[in-house]
């Protein structure tokens, strides 16, 4: 229970981000901007502390079940967002990231801690595979966010009535470029996650592929992103179609994550 205070403090700090998003979206003021960066950094540090505590308590890498899954995913998303923010200075992304990070930490705080003991959780593959997978999810989520910014702003521009996003988002070109770059990173992680997942499955069950929905959905997402990346690279494809495909890819990724951490019946543990 003692470690939970870190999670609650994290939740409190992420609230600043949500408030900032509300102020930014409704009044288009940025007066909370620097406070938000500070609070998010601090929340991130506290959440890191929480995760290491959880690791100790659980005795295995804390990414199993809704509680740890949501918490770790929020952590990874905030990390990717902060890295993106530092390198691109695009704060419009926070419109999506802050509420989602808050929501995930809230879900984690409300969900009971999974106390499952399973020898499979002691495997070294758990931290490696889940870290890779979650970084993949987080990067693809951030890329999805950039794609959304692209699509919404494109619609505003095309309808010749610039509104909210016209004033908030960076240019279409920039949304597209940043999204493309993060997709490439996320795809790399996803690929490694799938490979380590196959290896883990082999070491635990003696077979690489178990025909589960999770495997299929991960593979589907992977194929979508391959198509997306190839189309971008080979034919300079981008913009609207790329953003739409990115949204589709992310929907499949989301399904994979939910399947793993929420929908899956207890007992049927990874891989």
Partner 1 sequence: MLFVFGISHKTAPLAEREALAFPRDTLGETLLRLRSEAGLQEAMILSTCNRVEIYGRAEQDTAPDAVVAFVCAFHRRAASDLAPLTYCLTEAEAIRHAFRVAASLDSMVVGEPQILGQVKEGYRAAEEAGTLGSALNALRNRTLAAAKRARSETGLGSGAVSVSHVAVELARKIFGELRDKNVLLVGAGKMSQLAARRLVDGGARATVVVGRTLERAAELAAALGGRAAPLDTLREELAVADIVISGTGAAGTVIKLPDVEAARGARRGRPLFLIDIAVPRDVEPQVAKLPGVFLYDLDDLHAVSEANLRERRKEAIAAEALVEREAREFLDWQKSRDAVPLLVELRRRGDEIRRQEIEKVKGRLGPLTKEQEDALESATAAIVNKLLHAPTVALKEAARNGHEPEQVGLIRRLLGL
Looking at beta carbons only, is 181 or 240 nearer to partner 1? Answer: 240
The C-alpha angle 174, 148, 218, rounded to 5 degrees, equals 110
Residue 162 interacts with partner 1 (CB under 8 A): yes or no: yes
Among 17, 136, 238, 249, binds partner 1 (CB under 8 A): 238
Helices (H), 115-238: 125-158, 164-168, 172-205, 213-235
Looking at beta carbons only, is 229 or 260 nearer to partner 1? Answer: 229
Stretch that binds partner 1, among 87-95, 220-228, 229-237, 245-253 (CB under 8 A): 229-237
What is the Cβ-side half-sphere exposure of residue 111, based on CA atoms within 13 angstroms? 19
Residue 99 interacts with partner 1 (CB under 8 A): yes or no: no
Neighbours of 72 (CB within 10 A): 26
Stretch that binds partner 1, among 4-12, 62-70, 83-91, 239-247 (CB under 8 A): 239-247
Stretch that binds partner 1, among 48-56, 99-107, 136-144, 167-175 (CB under 8 A): 167-175
* Backbone φ/ψ region at 150: left (φ over 0), alpha (ψ -120 to 50), beta: alpha
Looking at beta carbons only, is 237 or 259 nearer to partner 1? Answer: 237
Among 167, 213, 262, 263, binds partner 1 (CB under 8 A): 167
How many whole angstroms separate alpha carbon 139 and alpha carbon 143? 6
Among 8, 29, 110, 230, binds partner 1 (CB under 8 A): 29
Structure tokens at 175: 């949304």
Residue 157 interacts with partner 1 (CB under 8 A): yes or no: yes
Length of the chain: 271
Among 1, 26, 86, 161, binds partner 1 (CB under 8 A): 161
Residue 172 interacts with partner 1 (CB under 8 A): yes or no: yes
Residue 87 interacts with partner 1 (CB under 8 A): yes or no: no
Quick check: 166 and 156 in contact, CB under 8 A?
yes
Size of the site for partner 1 (CB under 8 A): 25
209 — phi, psi (to 5°)? -125, 125
Q: How far is the CA of 102 from the CAs of 13, 14, 27, 45, 79, in angstroms?
A: 9, 6, 21, 15, 14
Structure tokens at 143: 């890329």
What is the Cβ-side half-sphere exposure of residue 255, based on CA atoms within 13 angstroms? 17
Stretch that binds partner 1, among 96-104, 119-127, 169-177, 248-256 (CB under 8 A): 169-177
Residue 158 interacts with partner 1 (CB under 8 A): yes or no: yes
Among 235, 265, 266, 267, binds partner 1 (CB under 8 A): 235
Among 3, 99, 240, 269, binds partner 1 (CB under 8 A): 240
């Amino acid at each position: 229970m003692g470690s939970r205070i870190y999670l609650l403090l994290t939740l409190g700090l992420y609230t600043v981000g949500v408030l900032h998003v509300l102020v930014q979206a409704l009044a288009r003021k940025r007066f909370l901007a620097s406070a938000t960066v500070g609070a998010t950094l601090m929340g991130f540090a506290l959440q890191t502390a929480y995760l290491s505590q959880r690791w100790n308590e659980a005795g295995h890498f804390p990414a199993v079940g809704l509680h740890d899954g949501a918490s770790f995913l929020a952590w990874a998303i905030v990390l990717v967002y902060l890295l993106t923010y530092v390198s691109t200075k695009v704060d419009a992304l926070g419109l999506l990231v802050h509420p989602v990070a808050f929501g995930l930490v809230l879900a984690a705080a409300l969900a009971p801690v999974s106390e499952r003991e399973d020898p499979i959780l002691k495997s070294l593959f758990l931290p490696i595979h889940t870290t890779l997978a979650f970084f993949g999810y987080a990067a693809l989520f951030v890329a999805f966010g950039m794609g959304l910014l692209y699509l919404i702003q494109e619609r505003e521009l095309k309808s010749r009535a610039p509104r909210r996003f016209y004033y908030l988002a960076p240019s279409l070109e920039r949304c597209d470029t940043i999204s493309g770059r993060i997709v490439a990173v996320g795809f790399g992680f996803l690929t490694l996650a799938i490979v380590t997942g196959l290896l883990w499955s082999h070491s635990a069950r003696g077979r690489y592929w178990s025909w589960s929905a999770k495997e299929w959905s991960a593979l589907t997402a992977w194929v979508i992103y391959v198509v997306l990346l190839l189309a971008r690279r080979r034919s300079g494809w981008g913009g609207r179609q790329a953003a739409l495909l990115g949204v589709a890819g992310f929907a499949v990724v989301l399904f994979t994550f939910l399947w793993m951490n929420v929908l899956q019946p207890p007992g049927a543990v990874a891989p």
